[in-house]
Amino acid sequence: MSRLLTLDRVGFAYDRRLVVSDLSFTLDEGDYLAVIGENGSGKTTLLLGLLGLKEPSEGTIGRSDALRSHRIGYLPQQIPEQRDFPATVREIVLSGRLNRHGLISFYTGEDRKAAAAAMRRLALEEMRNRSFRELSGGQRQRVLLARALVAAEGLLLLDEPVAGLDPIVSHDFYRLIRELNQSGVTVIMVSHDIHCVTRDSTHVLHLGYGHYFYGTTDAYMNSELVASYLPGRKNQPDGADQ
């Protein structure tokens, strides 16, 4: 197992205010890290930092070689404008390969193969020529997940991926992520949904205001912190369905 990310006493400022400070954790290949925390606790800022879109105001972030060249499969939060966007599933999934291209951006046969493979993996082949705006919310998230997979086989970074999906579709989506993780894909998932996320994750990063928890999911479930968020769930066996 090789190390993908090493954060050493990292801090991020937003609007000149320090939202995350003194944060240290590591991420290894195959990990499934759940990032939990209330609004304003700095989850999105941390994500931008991991993506290399925001420089830390203190500390250092060590990245593996692959991550340094934008090889992160990012699934951003959906913006409402995207819902009626005229683009086919194939067009969107293929655009995941653009991190491998310079100023001139023609797709190669290899790009098309990678996109086809990702669509097959997520059962999108039948709808490859359908328009994004005709799809259901769950199908749309699967398309954006395929794009993320095409961008990076190794590491997925998911920002609130089930926001706005109904419970059954969310459940399916979590299962999909679990299967991907079991097949060797490293996952970082930001979520509000402590129940579902901690069921699958190997590690938890809980961001609070001015403090944080980082450790294995087992350690998190037995911590003081979880008791205040999930009353009655403390010390339950890990992996139990509610």
Partner 1 sequence: MTGFFVDFFSFSFLLRALIGGSLVALCASLLGTSLVLTRYAMIGDGLSHVAFGALAVAVAFSTSPLLVSLPVVMAAAFLLLRLSSSGRLRGDAAIAMLSSASMAVGVIVISLTKGMNTDLYSFMFGSILSMTRGDLTMAVALSLAVALIFVFSYNKLFAVTFDENFARASGIGAGLWNGLLAVLASVTIVLGMRMMGAILIASLIIFPPLSAMRLCGSFKGVTMVSALSSLVCFTSGLFLSYGLDLPSGPVIVLVNAGCFLLFSLIRFLRRAQDRRSLLKR
Which residues are at the interface with partner 1 (CB under 8 A)? 51-53, 69-70, 72, 74, 76, 79, 81-82, 85-88, 91-92, 94-96, 98-99, 101, 103-107, 129-134, 147, 151
CA within 13 Å, CB half, 23: 34
Residue by residue, DSSP assigns 193-206 as: -HHHHHHH-SEEEE
- Least distance to partner 1 from the beta carbon of 180, Å? 18
- Least distance to partner 1 from the beta carbon of 100, Å? 9
Helix and strand numbers (H, E) in the chain are: 9, 9
For partner 1, the closer CB: 106 or 224: 106
- Least distance to partner 1 from the beta carbon of 92, Å? 7
- Least distance to partner 1 from the beta carbon of 59, Å? 21
For partner 1, the closer CB: 66 or 230: 66
- Is residue 153 classed as helix, strand or coil in its secondary structure? coil
Distances, alpha carbon 145 to alpha carbons 16, 26, 121, 141, 151, in Å: 33, 24, 11, 6, 10
Q: Is the dihedral of CA 175, 178, 184, 187 positive or negative?
A: positive
- Least distance to partner 1 from the beta carbon of 44, Å? 10
Count other Cβ atoms within 10 Å, centred on residue 6. 16
For partner 1, the closer CB: 128 or 178: 128
Where b means 16+ CB within 10 Å and e means fewer, 151-168 reads bbbbbbbbbbbbeebeee
- Is residue 85 classed as helix, strand or coil in its secondary structure? coil
For partner 1, the closer CB: 86 or 231: 86
- Least distance to partner 1 from the beta carbon of 68, Å? 10
Q: Measured between alpha carbons, how far is 194 from 35 in angstroms, rounded to an integer?
A: 9
For partner 1, the closer CB: 81 or 126: 81
For partner 1, the closer CB: 82 or 222: 82
